[in-house]
Structures are given as structure tokens and as C-alpha cells.
Amino acid sequence: MTASRSAASPIDPAQATALDVSTNPRVAPVMDMVEKLSRVDDPQEVIRVFGEGFRQIRPVGAYLSLSTRGLAEGQYKITRFVADMKRLEEDLADPWADWHRLEVRTGGLLGQIIAGRRPMILHDMKVTEDPAVGDLLAPFGSLMAMPLFDDGDPINWAISLDASPRAFDLNELDESVLRANLVGGTVRNVLMTRRLREANSWIEREINQIASIQRALLPARNPQVPGLGIATFYQTYDRAGGDLYDFISAPSESDASASAPFGVLIADASGHGPSAAVVAAMVHAILHTYPPPVPGAAEVLEYANTHLNTKRIDPSFVTAFLGIFDPASRRLCYSRAGHPPPLLKPDPKSGTKSQRIDAAASFPLGVLERGGYEDAQIVLQPGQTVVLYTDGITEANGPDGEMFGIEGIERSLADCSGEPECVVESIVGDLRRHQSGAQPRDDQTIVALQVRE
């Protein structure tokens, strides 16, 4: 027989002769089947697509599948029985959903097949009153049984049945075994994909819940403190993150203790995502258990460090800056636990540059049993602005890999009035231009406080 050249071939005949594959009647149903399988995301649909495809390629009378997964030796379940392949869709049960309701069987002809652990063809069958399945196999004269291996064991079985006494022969057995295991492998992959999708959905819900709880820990609004302007910016790397800021025991304009000292905190738990968010929540809870009055920032950080060490958060740690601001004296008592130094922007009328508040530095929280934290003080003047930030700001990379740096913040401050809202907008605007549209790779937080007359 001479193979014909394909009339629709895109191949240049000067380079090669393309055979006309359409002359093989099995190619079209196979192509249709694999195309459909590429879009399947349900194991039931895998069986239906394979069943329809193979019905055209190699028709059989009926189909039966068995499984021994999780059962004792010699036990099995009939997971699917299609008595008429022409009614495939009607008879297609869902063994994954109904597994616990399927009957556990032992013995009989099917038990003998399973015990063999190898492919099998049976001719001239006369199976009635089988001890395991009764007359289920009585209409059939032959079968071909194919083991489906999972992790080296024939866990499942695909059995083709036909009324003819000799419908199957040894010449097709090898291809049938490969075909059956292809079906089994595809089903496993689809099942795994579905389970991964379900697991991811569960994780997504949990992360969203963590993010919601974390947002609830942040101040609902910035405090309205007489003589002090406040603005903040907060963005997580993902939905949940390790950055934290807070105003501890902050007064309000209507509060009788409006001139009482209060705490200003910015902190950054190492890492990203939910684990960092949990550690940040721990810091928040610990700090809010410190009994008043607050003698100084260093003692509060030492208190937080002690409690974090008892929780064994290793290898996590937390950098933090805590300032105790007294509105009456405009005195800021502060301490740093491994946190980047805040910047002090002077009153624009002074003509001086921003300075780094870099005293009272020590180790991050959760690293040493005793952090050795110390206090430092600074008296703020009207018009001065303190800018707190996390390293997600300074370590943000541009397209060339260059970091924004503290210098980037200093440049932003040089171009703004010092009003807290202007400070935040200027830094964030310059930062976004520096990143050129790239997503941040860390949480980013800014707190700006300006002393007013």
C-alpha cells in the first residue's frame, strides 16, 4: 500500500513528503480526545472523555473498575460499572464522592483477578451466582483485566467486558495496559489538581482572615492630639504582613488627659506573609499588656523582648522603634530595637537638612534574652517633623537593582513642606517612581508626626 501525500500539508514538498494521516480512522478520535482532556478539571469528566474516545477506537460491551485503596488484602470495591457503553454518561457514577457507601467485597472471580496482580484475558466465561457479585458477570463471555499502578502497586483495575466469548486477544493487551494506566494517571493528576485548588482556596481564606485581623490591630484612625499633626501610610507585601504601627494610650482633643504622654510605635517582624503577621500581632498584644505608668521606651521594649523570648519565636525577630511623646513638654523619649533610624525634618524656615535620630540603638526583639535597651531624648520644636518608616521603604529596588535608601527619603523630605500629609505623599510618590511600577517585595509603612504651635 502506498501512503498518500496530505493535500493540506504545510510542508514544502521540496523538503519532505508529508503523509496524509487522515487515512487512519483512529487519528481523528484520538486527537479529539486529547484536545478535550487538555481542558478537563474533573475526574468524572476524564472518564467520560476517555470512554467516548476509546469507544470509537476499540469498542467493548461494558466496563468495570475496581479499587483496593485503603482496604485489607483480598478486599475490593466496585467503583464503577457501565453495563452498556452506549449509555456511558447515564451510568457514570462518582466513586470519589460515594466511596464510603460502596460495598466492600472479597473473593469471587474478581478477587482471583486482583490476587494475580498482572493483566489477564479470559475467554469462554460462564460466571453465574458468583459469591462476590452474583450474576453481574453472567451476560459476558470474555474480559480483559488491566492493573492500574499507583506508587508501584496495582491499586485500581480497569476491566473491559464483552458478550462475545473471545472478544479480546493477546496482541492488544500491551497497548490496552498502557492506555488504561494513561487513564489512571490522568485521573490522579486531575484529582491532585482539584485537591491543590481546594487547599489553595482554604489557604486563601485563612490568609484573608489573618489580614482582616491584622488590619483590626492597626489604629482605626490617627489620634487627634492638640499641637501635633499625624499622617500614616501602610501597605503589605501580600494581604498579610509583618509591619505594625500603633499609638499607645493616645489622648484626644476632647480627652481630659489630652496633654498626657503617649507611645508611638513602628515595628517590623522578619519575613513576609501570615507568619510575620502572627508575630506582629504577638508584639501588639504584649505591648498592650504593659501596666501604666510608662517610665520610658527602653523598659517597655525590654518587657516586650522578655515575653517574645519566652514564646520561642526563633528564627523570627522584630525590629521596633518606640517613642514616648509628652505633648506638654514636646519631649520625645525613644529607644530602638534594631530598627532603622527615624528622620527629623526641620522647620523649612531654618534652612537646615534632615537629621537621623540614630541614638539608643540595640538588638531586635526576640534575639537575646536581655536586649540592653537604652533611652534617648529629644525636645521637638514647632515645625519639626519626625518620620518613622520600615525597611520596606529603604530597601525597595528600582529596575536597575538600586535601593531607594534613606537618601531617597531625605530627597523626598527636601521637596515637601513638612506637613505630615505632604511627607507621606512625597515619599510614596518618589518611591513609586523609583520602583517604576514593580510590586513591592516587602511591607511598607510610614508614620509622620509634626509639632505645631
Tens digits of per-residue pLDDT, 79-123?
Answer: 888 886 555 444 455 676 778 889 999 999 999 999 999 999 999
Using the structure block, give the residue that is written with the C-alpha cell 523598659: 299
Element (H, E) at 13: none
Say if residues 394 and 444 touch (Cβ distance below 8 Å). Answer: no
pLDDT at 1: 45
Cell numbers that stand for 4 in this block = 498518500
**Per residue in 115-161, pLDDT tens?**
999 999 999 999 999 999 999 999 999 999 989 888 889 988 989 99
With a cut of 80, say whether residue 435 has pLDDT above it. Answer: yes
What beta strand segments (E) does 308-413 contain?
Answer: 318-326, 331-337, 343-345, 355-356, 361-362, 376-379, 385-389
Which position has the higher pLDDT, 11 or 327? 327
- What pLDDT sits at residue 450? 96
Confidence band of 347 (pLDDT split at 50, 70, 90): confident
> Residue 251: its pLDDT value, please?
57
- Looking at per-residue pLDDT, the higher value among 386 and 442 belongs to 386
Q: Between residues 217 and 107, which one has the greater pLDDT? A: 107
- Who wins on pLDDT, 102 or 259? 102
pLDDT of residue 89: 46
pLDDT at 255 over 90: no
Enter the DSSP assignment of 171. Answer: G
How does strand 331-337 pair with strand 343-345? unpaired
Instruction: Report the alpha-carbon distance of residue 226 to residue 267 in Å, rounded.
Output: 25
The predicted-structure confidence for 43-76, as pLDDT tens digits, reads as follows 777 777 766 766 666 778 888 989 999 999 999 9
- The pLDDT value given to residue 244: 94
The C-alpha cell at 233 is 501610610
State the pLDDT at residue 195. 87
> How confident is the model at residue 8, as a pLDDT?
58
Average pLDDT, the chain: 87
Structural domains of the chain ordered from first start = 21-194 (3.30.450.40), 218-451 (3.60.40.10)
Q: What is the pLDDT of residues 159-206, one digit of tens each?
A: 999 999 999 999 888 888 888 788 777 878 888 888 898 899 998 898
pTM higher than 0.75: no
Q: Number of C-alpha atoms within 13 angstroms, CB side, residue 215?
A: 12
pLDDT at 53: 67
Question: Looking at residues 14-18, what average pLDDT do you find?
Answer: 84
Give me the percent of the chain exceeding a pLDDT of 70: 91
In the predicted model, is pLDDT for residue 248 greater than 90?
no
Q: Which of 9-23, 83-97, 278-292 has the lowest mean pLDDT?
A: 83-97
What is the pLDDT, as a whole number, of residue 90? Answer: 46
In terms of Cβ atoms closer than 10 Å to its own Cβ (0-12, 13-18, 19+), residue 407 is exposed
- Name the pLDDT band for 250 (thresholds 50, 70, 90): low
> What's the pLDDT tens digit per position in 387-418?
999 999 999 999 988 999 999 999 999 989 99
pLDDT score at 22: 81
Residue 346 has pLDDT above 60, yes or no: yes
Q: Number of helices and strands (H, E) in the chain?
A: 11, 17
